[in-house]
Structure 1
């Protein structure tokens, strides 16, 4: 060949290798259940295909390369299976919906210009190893994109592993920092630790820390083996017992770098055949149409790559079993992609080897067996407890069965309400609960669960108030690894290398899903016992990590206490005035009809106000309004941002905006809230998802009570329907300017601290500083500007953003920001320091130690990096505010209980607590609740909480 890798020594060429097998699993698990024909579940699944397209387009844009290949595992056994028949024996089979997408994925990757390699008899890691080492020997810079830690053994001065999904970079220094050993010792390290995922045993009880310590001390695995007699204790004995196995283990875990790729890469070592190719746009268009990717097909004519790269971060994530799930309008979007977005076993962090070797699961059908297990749970220090129920609706769910685990590998299931034909006789539900009730309600008997708030409700539905929940594995994961999924299946796979029966395996999916009471008892017992057993085992893996970090342990204990308080809030529910909502719905309906009539008159013809296509035709074809921006397909946009801009000069967009807002308000709240009242209580019981938002904020779901619009009169009126029963009132308590106070505390800025200490209006004080006038001379307009600046800078607002918010030019906005920082230098120093700290450690912290991870903080993608930098500044304030309201919620509930008050906490909305208060306790709430809220923490500025009281929620403000 004429072109060699070493033609330009000043600028080495780059080889990009993609671990396609890892990518396709990530794409499959990240994407929703897309189909070639939308809405037709019988058509071909396409989620993994679409995810793969998005990920590769984004990677190619972020990592330019001269040579590139995407490597997949081929079907069939490899040499490792011949060496060790149990290799990967415990891996779950590939889901059918993923298997059917493999060939189309290979096809579309080729059409996108990538060389696709899947070599029979050779694992993808070995193909990657061979190509990487071959290129590196010629001075080529090799970048391997994968989340698989096994590839770290390939790293050297020319080979780097990147994981663009979480920002991890494993170069020589990165490997040593992460694992405690240099890349050349990674095979030795992995041999000692083993690989649970691939079913390759290591030395029992030897984890990453011990392995790194031995290798640092002795220098190599061979030296560790030679000094085995010098290593004492249980691990020393385990090492001696493993000496015969270790050579085979090392052989299994060593990535081959000399594979025969003849026929697949005929011109090795030249590597010419993997020169970066170009897209076959004609064939891609046909492919995209075939699989229903009409948007992608339309982009091929103009800027497809840029459009797709923007879409690449738009994966969705489905709900996880026995875990909080849902979208969170309050989260800091820039902190990370959604939780669980790209997780799969290959990309997981080092699993902690499970302590389980043999499983023993009992099914309790007799009183004798029940009494035996009751004695076990009564004697145990900690019991994992799980319920199987008739519903995911926690206020309606009834118990079908209960399982316990007291030691790893051992569990029992009590079937209580399985009702399928020929189901065996079961112990009576009422009698079992009566016998369990003293233990369940005894706080001295410590209990453990996965999402325990749900189980609390389930037992409460049967008249049992469970006490003594000491741990929740969902919350342990949320505190330790907030950006990862917190469902039990994910936790067990990630930390134990274990997998089990899924709910869908037992009950099916969709319209054909059966209730748990129809599940065969033997299968139900296996499933439920696995849940309790794995919950206990996950706890044993995660709890020591929390114990080792005082700040994270404090946050975890706060989450546990918050879970108890939230259970009470959810249980209390809120009383809704249906007739008031009915009147509002009628009035909104009349106004919506009037707006349609007025819009038709302005347009000169009738049209559908909910149709973007018809609106665009009216705006831009008939009326000739200016095009503000375009959609990814090149059409003029009519989104809310565009309408707001056009509404400044034209009446029709303003009418459509108002119509949209009122229609959403009517459909979401005034029409539906009363219908959501529980038939037994007559109240609305929202669910507070505790483990979603990366900042620690809560999410209100089904219904979302935190998202009722309050900036319009119609939105505020909805709160009139939140009422108290006769003899009681509604009280609202919230923090005053909480995030600005937190900014003053964190930044230590002298001027801000003084303003809050002296009780000065901080916006007026800021206006005085920026505009150079006495505080008494500040106009309302100047104060408004200062308020926008104060809050805007908290969110990392740029000069452009400020100019847009204040409708001023960029130069004026820039001058305002410069003057602000001149007067508040502590704020500027905080921002600069925080950005640098975030880049160095990958996360920031709240005042109380909650970690807020920023995986994009060192991203090569400018917009993503800028977003992460803005989040780094704001997240400590949002997160600290979330911590404070949780501390307040816990403290106030504690005092209510201690003093046996009749006041009920019924909602938590952002920085606000809402109460239902008997008239006799109004004075107590007015005086004590603000005092309690102000006293939960001592910052450099005083906390201020204010209480309003009224007949309904609106009047309480």
Structure 2
């Protein structure tokens, strides 16, 4: 072990912004938007805890920017002029963050008149000059100029390491040229001028060619083209820019760091448990308070442990690293187990297995995780399985690792046979992360798991749908824990090895960690759901939906490959014909997929009008431009049709047949629950949501979704569901009356807007009313409505004004919803699903406007998603209870699709719409309609 010392410098200003944006809108009093914001504080605790665990250090400091101006403001008054002011909710958390970081044992520096970067630069170079290794933890690329053989920058949020090789690889120049590089590129965030239109590639190319900025300036006359012209124009500004981007390494810090330059004034201290507890109580961090109370290690033993660790160089253990044993990590959440007490076991004997099986049988709740051969749940086979029943303890049972010299493993068939009674016992409660996947994997081995009580992915989705829900993100965000990644074990890309070839010892650590962290995350998240009645309802809805979706995915849908092949041939013929037609109009062959060639033909050869330009100033040929030009010109219309048919062919008619499972002959799409913030499902491999149905060719794809002999396809969907939800939520009497009386709501709206009776409404007026009805649900402006209807904006504004005059309840709902969203930061569905809107109070107008439109629409989309999930669950339960042979095979938007034996057609025709209409009682009746046919298209 080396005796070389290490200094760890934390860019606190970078950390606190990351913490603020990464965490939900937590409050000291949950649910009270007027109580102090605490999300950034909690995130900071998590991040500092994780960093302390991961990095061993002898000295450390967390450095923050001090308020007020610095020398750069004197040099350049416009410095950082473009930066948005710090959000009030973040500003209010700055002092508490400084306080808690100190209480966690970190020296804190906040030096007046000196930016945090300059403090970091001075300390880093001072330490490096003494032969001390320096690690800077920051996501700020500007600090790369400090890197040398003694100074390394790490970004723990994304695993990035910037040493000399890392900086050179990332930026194209070595660290000693980074100041020159930054001077040329400039910094839009800090308002530092660079050379106009000179980006990273050009800057790196120049510096490698000329050797330095000074040499480049001397030979500026040699640089050709527009870039050279811009360089010469910028010569007068470059000295100032260089001063602004250069991090100072010679600041006078002696009054702020005792003992400089020896760094003895920056020792890492023990967390101050006595002071941390009232701090956590003050800000409502109940789980953190519990974690402190649960610690049985007296403070004097912690101090003794620190002394021992420092005496032997600060290494806690060979596999965990860090200054302290995990029992001293007092910033960790209650669920974060002490790493020094981790009991991860690799089960390779029957004696070990039987002991763990007995533990599972006796446990109130057990976390389970499978390691497999594939991400495709329908074909994946088990490589190993892990369990955890208490924080810090887990076991891995390797089963089919097959690398050379792999240790003997228990036989998979016998292990699964012994596990099967426990797995299939609904009374034995189980927990997982994305349990639907594990259910499929175990089903591939003939095990139908019962008793799944919790899914941490779905817990996160219910609590904070707008954030990532992977286990690594959850552990980092809620526990301050990080772990081994799949890529760490298996590699990436072409060099990635199968999990079965991973060393068993490493696989055991990885899999045990997954089960252990899953249990820890559950202990952190479940109490937040359990105490809120609405969240409990939504969580149970998601858990029940997971069960129903598992059944739908398992069933799959039969695909008619010959029909698809015939459609592909027809599409191919039409695509070729379109190419020839486009060539004739253009007067020459060209690549229909090349924006450059299309632009030359449109604007140079044919003289079509320029609708808009790209950021570089060239005429745009994007989809929006093509659609606009297609209204008046044939060539853009041909290109659009060509693109649409090519996509249809490549995505569906060519590939659907290939996606059929060889074992079942069916396509088994994967439904992702935890993706759309509104609660809607998404599907992939194949994506059934995006099959285009507005064109005849797109609709025909559904002809290939068929039923086997003796069965038919039934499609049931809700009629005008979002408009009905709007009527319910807004309580507008005119809308309610239209739905209660069974009137055509678009005709009723047209009569209101155009001042006529329903029987006098023309088809054109009804079409206008339909666009208005659906457009306003999505927060459409008068400009958007005008564009959709092809009318003047003034006329569209008049229609909207008349609409709101006739439907005042809708206008009141929209105004009240936006105000409530601004106050709470989220809106809710009818059933209580929370739909967070991070940009609702943004100072950026377009972002705020987008969030306001989302606030209006999200409760309707979300409620529709809740209703279709309720229907899916109810129908599946009835099918099971009555032992029906009918199978649910797809869920698409507001539609459920079934494979129905002919003997059950009449039952399905009557009962499915009745069940769907009865899942909830709104102020207007729900209406579900059903169609039946030999394929999905004919069932519509």
How many angstroms apart in 1 are the aligned matches of 2:82 and 2:356? 50
Alpha-carbon shift at residue 718 of structure 1 (Å) = 0.3
How many angstroms apart in 1 are the aligned matches of 2:826 and 2:411? 52
Residue of 560, 573, 580 corresponding to 1:590: 573
How many angstroms apart in 1 are the aligned matches of 2:540 and 2:921? 19
1:737 correspondence with 2:700: no
Alpha-carbon shift at residue 276 of structure 1 (Å) = 10
Matching residue of 1:431: 414
Residue of 452, 461, 465 corresponding to 1:478: 461
How many angstroms apart in 2 are the aligned matches of 1:426 and 1:262? 54
Higher relative contact order (CA closer than 8 Å, sequence separation 6+): 1
How many angstroms apart in 2 are the aligned matches of 1:367 and 1:871? 56
- Decide whether the 8 Å contact of 1:353 with 1:495 is kept in 2: no
Do the aligned partners of residues 286 and 864 (structure 1) sit closer, same or farther apart at CA in structure 2, a change above 3 Å counting? closer
Alpha-carbon shift at residue 354 of structure 1 (Å) = 3.5
Residue of 148, 158, 169 corresponding to 2:89: 169
Alpha-carbon shift at residue 647 of structure 1 (Å) = 1.3
Matching residue of 2:274: none
1:816 correspondence with 2:736: no
SS at match of 2:847: helix
How many angstroms apart in 1 are the aligned matches of 2:514 and 2:789? 54
Do the aligned partners of residues 900 and 144 (structure 1) sit closer, same or farther apart at CA in structure 2, a change above 3 Å counting? farther
1:418 correspondence with 2:331: no
Alpha-carbon shift at residue 26 of structure 1 (Å) = 9.7
Tell me the TM-score normalized by structure 1.
Answer: 0.71
Matching residue of 2:161: none
Tell me the TM-score normalized by structure 2.
Answer: 0.72
Do the aligned partners of residues 130 and 750 (structure 1) sit closer, same or farther apart at CA in structure 2, a change above 3 Å counting? closer
Matching residue of 1:925: 908
SS at match of 2:831: coil
- Decide whether the 8 Å contact of 1:478 with 1:486 is kept in 2: yes
Do the aligned partners of residues 262 and 809 (structure 1) sit closer, same or farther apart at CA in structure 2, a change above 3 Å counting? closer
Residues 111-168 of structure 1: CA deviation (Å, up to 9, x unaligned) = xxxxxxxxx9985634x137579999xxx9999999xxxxxxxxxxxx9843xxxxx7
1:680 correspondence with 2:643: no
- Decide whether the 8 Å contact of 2:727 with 2:924 is kept in 1: yes
- Decide whether the 8 Å contact of 1:588 with 1:662 is kept in 2: yes
1:562 correspondence with 2:545: yes
How many angstroms apart in 2 are the aligned matches of 1:290 and 1:275? 16
How many angstroms apart in 1 are the aligned matches of 2:418 and 2:695? 54
- Decide whether the 8 Å contact of 2:456 with 2:522 is kept in 1: yes
How many angstroms apart in 2 are the aligned matches of 1:457 and 1:290? 52
- Decide which moves more: 274-283 or 889-898: 274-283
Matching residue of 1:213: none
Q: How does 1:856-935 map to 2 (within 5 A)?
A: 856-935=839-918
How many angstroms apart in 2 are the aligned matches of 1:587 and 1:702? 24
Do the aligned partners of residues 825 and 598 (structure 1) sit closer, same or farther apart at CA in structure 2, a change above 3 Å counting? same
Matching residue of 1:356: 337
Alpha-carbon shift at residue 352 of structure 1 (Å) = 2.6
Residues 356-375 of structure 1: CA deviation (Å, up to 9, x unaligned) = 12110111111111111100
How many angstroms apart in 2 are the aligned matches of 1:779 and 1:863? 36
How many angstroms apart in 1 are the aligned matches of 2:548 and 2:85? 48
Do the aligned partners of residues 533 and 729 (structure 1) sit closer, same or farther apart at CA in structure 2, a change above 3 Å counting? same
Alpha-carbon shift at residue 170 of structure 1 (Å) = 2.5
SS at match of 2:430: strand
Do the aligned partners of residues 276 and 405 (structure 1) sit closer, same or farther apart at CA in structure 2, a change above 3 Å counting? closer
SS at match of 2:929: strand
- Decide whether the 8 Å contact of 1:576 with 1:722 is kept in 2: yes
- Decide whether the 8 Å contact of 1:735 with 1:945 is kept in 2: yes
Residues 436-469 of structure 1: CA deviation (Å, up to 9, x unaligned) = 1111011110000000000000000001110110
1:91 correspondence with 2:74: no
How many angstroms apart in 1 are the aligned matches of 2:609 and 2:909? 53
In structure 2, the gaps of 5 or more residues are 1-10, 24-47, 121-186, 207-225, 235-330
- Decide whether the 8 Å contact of 1:390 with 1:399 is kept in 2: yes
1:700 correspondence with 2:683: yes
- Decide which moves more: 724-733 or 85-94: 85-94
- Decide whether the 8 Å contact of 1:473 with 1:538 is kept in 2: yes
- RMSD between superposed Cα atoms in Å: 3.6
Alpha-carbon shift at residue 842 of structure 1 (Å) = 0.8
Do the aligned partners of residues 121 and 529 (structure 1) sit closer, same or farther apart at CA in structure 2, a change above 3 Å counting? closer
Matching residue of 1:658: 641
Matching residue of 1:129: 66
Do the aligned partners of residues 819 and 19 (structure 1) sit closer, same or farther apart at CA in structure 2, a change above 3 Å counting? farther
Alpha-carbon shift at residue 282 of structure 1 (Å) = 2.5
Matching residue of 1:285: 198
Alpha-carbon shift at residue 280 of structure 1 (Å) = 3.9
Matching residue of 2:351: 368
- Decide whether the 8 Å contact of 1:575 with 1:722 is kept in 2: yes
Alpha-carbon shift at residue 907 of structure 1 (Å) = 0.6
Q: How does 1:6-155 map to 2 (within 5 A)?
A: 21-22=14-15, 88-91=51-54, 123=61, 125-126=63-64, 128-129=65-66
SS at match of 1:949: strand
Q: How does 1:489-638 map to 2 (within 5 A)?
A: 489-638=472-621
Residue of 704, 707, 711 corresponding to 1:721: 704
How many angstroms apart in 1 are the aligned matches of 2:78 and 2:200? 33
- Decide whether the 8 Å contact of 1:857 with 1:869 is kept in 2: yes
- Decide whether the 8 Å contact of 2:80 with 2:191 is kept in 1: no
Residue of 734, 751, 765 corresponding to 1:751: 734
- Decide whether the 8 Å contact of 2:424 with 2:449 is kept in 1: yes
Q: How does 1:299-310 map to 2 (within 5 A)?
A: none
Alpha-carbon shift at residue 288 of structure 1 (Å) = 3.7
Alpha-carbon shift at residue 651 of structure 1 (Å) = 1.2
Count of residues in correspondence between the two structures: 720
Residues 833-869 of structure 1: CA deviation (Å, up to 9, x unaligned) = 0111111111111111111111111111111111111
How many angstroms apart in 1 are the aligned matches of 2:823 and 2:596? 47
Do the aligned partners of residues 858 and 277 (structure 1) sit closer, same or farther apart at CA in structure 2, a change above 3 Å counting? closer
SS at match of 1:466: coil
Residues 178-227 of structure 1: CA deviation (Å, up to 9, x unaligned) = xxxxx766656666xx6xxxxx3xxxxxxxxxxxxxxxxxxxxxxxxxxx
Q: How does 1:325-340 map to 2 (within 5 A)?
A: none
Matching residue of 1:41: none
Residues 241-296 of structure 1: CA deviation (Å, up to 9, x unaligned) = xxxxxxxx4xx365544698899599xxxxxxx99975443287163435699xxx
SS at match of 1:405: strand
Residue of 937, 942, 946 corresponding to 2:920: 937
1:457 correspondence with 2:440: yes
Do the aligned partners of residues 551 and 264 (structure 1) sit closer, same or farther apart at CA in structure 2, a change above 3 Å counting? closer
In structure 1, the gaps of 5 or more residues are 1-17, 31-84, 95-119, 147-158, 163-167, 176-182, 195-199, 201-248, 267-273, 305-349
Residues 302-339 of structure 1: CA deviation (Å, up to 9, x unaligned) = 9x9xxxxxxxxxxxxxxxxxxxxxxxxxxxxxxxxxxx
Alpha-carbon shift at residue 631 of structure 1 (Å) = 1.4
How many angstroms apart in 1 are the aligned matches of 2:463 and 2:925? 30
How many angstroms apart in 1 are the aligned matches of 2:901 and 2:363? 42
Do the aligned partners of residues 786 and 650 (structure 1) sit closer, same or farther apart at CA in structure 2, a change above 3 Å counting? same
Alpha-carbon shift at residue 89 of structure 1 (Å) = 3.5
Do the aligned partners of residues 916 and 144 (structure 1) sit closer, same or farther apart at CA in structure 2, a change above 3 Å counting? farther
- Decide whether the 8 Å contact of 1:19 with 1:144 is kept in 2: no
SS at match of 2:195: helix
